[in-house]
Amino acid sequence: MTVLVTGAAGFIGFHVSRALLARGEAVVGIDNLNDYYDVRLKEARLAELTSVDRFAFERGDVAEDGVLLALALKHPGITRIVHLAAQAGVRYSIQNPGAYIHANVQGHYMVLELARRLEELDHLVYASSSSVYGGNAKRPFSVGDRVDRPVSLYAATKCSAELISYAYSHLFGLPATGLRFFTVYGPWGRPDMAMYIFTKAMFEDRPIQLFNHGNMRRDFTYIDDIVDGVLACLDRPPDRHHDAPHRLYNLGNHRAEELRRVVSLIERETNRQAKIELAPMQPGDVPETFADIEATTRDIGFAPRTSIDEGVPRFVEWYRAFHGV
């Protein structure tokens, strides 16, 4: 069995690929290695993966016509796809909306087109986001809640991907599952995420901005728990005989943590005092995320185990080692 992982040099893609390899599967990874953040981090992740014989890597943009078809011809026998390639970041979507339409809408369409043409494919798992819940005032966020009021273009592209996936499942009997990730963090994490930004600022003795004047809460989910959820989902495809074999699940820690508490944990691990600047809410942002994971636990046995009290020290330890501080 061969699994195609798109976005394999990305944070979640790297960890999912490594876990698949660890359990003996062959993985074909694709990534365009764009410069949204430091490419050296992506290359370091890839170096870890390419040390395993069962990992094959292709550099390419999944949104470009013909790229995925050529990959499938070169690597026959793909039976599952984990589609994680995307343009991430809420705030950057305001500056460069075209990048999001290209990667998150056109790219997702290309993956769906490949999936429906692979005769041996039994499951497509793809990344959605907690951002789809927009300004939803109900807590916690449930997969049955409205998602037609996105407050960022990034969120709108993820909503679009879910709708297009449902249509493909209905029309072509394609087993597909969308996973709404909640604030993923951990070793090898993205430099544009709060955990990385805060830690880097403290080591460099620079101020940290807390938006909404510090009144922010996030459902921080440790990467190992996310990977467990992705693999558990991948191994349980929807029934092809349903009218539309398509599902959606939240992958979160089922806790809304105050950002100030996260900062205090990083202070403890770095043995440094944060310099905090309070700032207004940023366009496209929301004050709180909080995942309802009842359906995810019921259907695929998802049970996150890592609290931020355990996860933050692990991230800081990795950060120290990787950056030599």
Residues acting as catalytic residues = 154
Helical H segments across 88-215, by residue range: 92-95, 97-100, 107-117, 153-172, 194-203
CB 312 within 8 A of CB 262: yes
CB 29 within 8 A of CB 9: yes
Q: Read off the tokens for 287.
A: 């004050």
Q: Which residues contact 239 (CB under 8 A, 6 or more apart)?
A: 175, 245
Report residue 23: phi and psi, to 5°: -95, 15
Side chain identity, residue 119: E
Strand, helix or coil at 35?
Answer: coil
Of the candidates 80, 86, 33, which has an alpha carbon nearest to the alpha carbon of residue 58?
A: 33
Report residue 97: phi and psi, to 5°: -60, -30
* Stated length of the chain: 325
Q: Read off the tokens for 210.
A: 């807390």
Rounded to whole angstroms, the Cα distance separating 319 from 317 reads: 5
Rounded to whole angstroms, the Cα distance separating 123 from 126 reads: 10
Q: Read off the tokens for 138.
A: 């109900």
Of the candidates 36, 37, 58, 46, which has an alpha carbon nearest to the alpha carbon of residue 15?
A: 46
Q: Read off the tokens for 76.
A: 């026959």
Of the candidates 27, 6, 245, which has an alpha carbon nearest to the alpha carbon of residue 123?
A: 245
